[in-house]
Amino acid sequence: MMEVSEAVAAVLRETLPFESQAIPLLETLGLVLAEEVRADADSPPFDKSLVDGFAVRLADCATPLPVIETVAAGQVPTYVLDHAAAIQIMTGAPLPVGVEVVVPVEHTSQVIGTDGRPLVSVPSKVASWKLGTNILRRGASTKLGDLVVAAGSELRPQELGALAECGLARVTTRRRPRVAVLATGDELVSVEQTPGPGQIRNSNETMLCAQLLRACAEPVPLGIARDERAHLRERIDLGLQADVLVLSGGVSMGEKDLVPSELASAGVRQVFHKANVKPGKPIWFGVLDRGPNSRTMVFGLPGNPVSSMVCFELFVRPALRRMMGVSPAESVAVKARLTTPHTTKGERPTYQPARLEWRADGAIVTAVPWVGSSDLRATVAANSMALFPVGDQTYEAGRTIEVIAW
């Protein structure tokens, strides 16, 4: 039986990163930029005012000034400031040539000149302001050709905005994996139904689809497959058209656990069956090879909901990351101090639902009480899984352990 690290390595060995392609900008949230992007222009593209106010020269501030023009954002000034005057200017408007500072409107007052013309009076202390006060110079934040977003960056809202500023309507990224989700089990009914005797609702499909959405993949729910060979096989064949097929249930030792044998008869090459992990020991992983660069990765997750959830995070998520070019593909554990003592009966390394919190002096973690791998409700209080290595042990409060955030 493989250790978790060996099993993850085996998954990643089989996973091919996708080719990159141009994708509409707003559809790339959460994906990874394949090629660096450099600025196609200076930003800002012209000297501009940072405030609503009056653009003046320092030497002219002693007396009230005539206002010769108003420039709003989006307009272009027509005057050059080469004599004692003021130009009214709005935030973001291009600066007229000759302007030295912009005095915010709230520091100025309107006065009427001897000839009845309106003038603007600015405080005398403005004469001692630094040149360029309230002005943002062309190229102050970015110069033409500067690196804006590096290759390999995860695309968050701020990267998308920066790419929009560079005029990229389409962005080169590796696409989202399409992932078919197939829940198996004669006991399952859909979420809308009231379970009859011996039945339960198919919660795994919704949970796994949500985990896929969170992982920036595209879920393709295939409904429920009965524990019956022909029906299961028909659904598996449908699922094998996706980049990844995730099944839940039917991978243990029961008579009705038909998933491994039906996957084999569909041509899926088994890579491993079972891993030394709790929950999730019966996990199955294989690959359908269609050609040198075309394959479907197949994960048979154990049906118990927490097993499905944990195995998705441990084994499926790294494969998705590798396909999309996220580095590192492996889950990254953080160190955190236990808040309360915890006793393990460790016949296998345990990934225990836990609550991770960040405090000024570091991360702390609390194991969430659960009655086992069917206890999905317990995970609602959790935001991570705490790793307890194999062995019967009591971990004292304050002991540092490894935790993987969900």
Q: What angle do CA 188, 271, 323 make, to 5 degrees?
A: 85
Strand locations in 292-383 (E): 294-301, 334-338, 342-344, 350-359, 362-367
- Bridge partners of 48, per DSSP, are 94, 136
Residue 77 contacts ligand AMP per CB under 6 A: no
Instruction: List binders of ligand AMP among 150-189 (CB under 6 A).
Output: 183, 185, 187-188
User: Quick check: bond before 44 cis, omega within 30?
Assistant: yes
What's the gap between Cα 113 and its chain centre? 60
Among 64, 77, 279, 302, binds ligand AMP (CB under 6 A): 302
Instruction: Candidates 12-20, 140-148, 248-256, 341-349: pick the segment binding ligand AMP (CB under 6 A).
Output: 248-256
Q: Which span sits near ligand AMP by CB under 6 A: 57-65, 191-199, 201-209, 309-317?
A: 201-209
CB 320 within 8 A of CB 15: no
Helix (H, G, I), strand (E, B) or coil at 262: helix
- Residues in binding contact with ligand AMP, number by CB under 6 A: 19
Dihedral sign, CA of 256, 258, 259, 260? Answer: positive
Asked if 239 interacts with Mg ion (CB under 5 A), we say no
Distance between CA atoms of residues 183 and 204, nearest Å:
7
By CB under 6 A, is residue 304 in contact with ligand AMP? yes
Helix residue spans in 249-338 (DSSP H): 259-265, 305-311, 317-324
200 binds ligand AMP (CB under 6 A): yes
Residue ranges with strand state E in 52-208: 53-56, 65-71, 86-89, 101-104, 109-112, 118-121, 135-136, 147-149, 170-174, 178-184, 188-189, 200-201
Q: Which does 64 bind (CB under 5 to 8 A by kind): Mg ion, ligand AMP, none?
A: none
Q: How many residues does the chain have?
A: 406
Strand partners, 190: none
202, interface contact from ligand AMP, Mg ion, none, CB < 5-8 Å by kind: ligand AMP
Residue 13 main-chain phi, psi, to 5 deg? -60, -30
CB of residue 303 to ligand AMP, shortest distance in Å: 3
Residue 239 binds ligand AMP, judged by CB under 6 A: no
Report in angstroms how near the CB of residue 252 gets to ligand AMP at its nearest: 5
**268-307: contacts with Mg ion (CB under 5 A):** 303
**Which partner in Mg ion, ligand AMP, none is near 325 (CB below 5 to 8 A by kind)?**
none
> Does residue 249 touch Mg ion according to CB under 5 A?
yes
Shortest gap between Cβ of 249 and Mg ion (angstroms)?
4
Q: Which is nearer to ligand AMP, 276 or 374 (CB)?
A: 374
CB-nearer residue toward Mg ion: 250 or 260: 250
Of residues 203 and 339, the one with the C-beta less far from ligand AMP: 203
| Helix, strand counts (H, E) of the chain | 8, 27
379 forms part of the interface with ligand AMP (CB under 6 A): no
Whose Cβ is closer to ligand AMP: residue 73's or residue 200's? 200
Closest to ligand AMP by CB, 47 or 375: 375
Tell me which H or E stretch contains 14: helix 4-14
Rounded Cα gap, residues 188 and 381, in angstroms:
25
Applying CB under 6 A, the span of 38-46, 149-157, 272-280, 299-307 interacting with ligand AMP comes to: 299-307
Q: Which is nearer to ligand AMP, 59 or 191 (CB)?
A: 191
Q: Among Mg ion, ligand AMP, none, what binds residue 280 when CB lies within 5 to 8 Å by partner kind?
A: none
For the segment 144-203, give every residue that binds Mg ion (CB under 5 A): 185
Asked if 204 interacts with ligand AMP (CB under 6 A), we say yes
- In angstroms, how far is CA 352 from the centroid of its own chain? 24
Write out the E strands in 41-121.
48-49, 53-56, 65-71, 86-89, 101-104, 109-112, 118-121
Kindly state the tokens that stand for 302.
């154990």
Query: Which one of residues 252, 270, 331, 339 is an interface residue with ligand AMP (CB under 6 A)?
Result: 252
| Whether the Cβ atoms of residue 104 and residue 134 lie closer than 8 Å to each other | yes
Select from 101-109, 215-223, 298-306, 345-353 the region that touches ligand AMP (CB under 6 A): 298-306
User: Cβ closer to ligand AMP: 286 or 302?
Assistant: 302
Binding residue (CB under 6 A) for ligand AMP from 260, 303, 325, 353: 303
Residues near Mg ion (CB under 5 A) are 185, 249-250, 303
**Interaction site with ligand AMP (CB under 6 A):** 183, 185, 187-188, 200, 202-205, 248-250, 252, 254, 302-305, 374
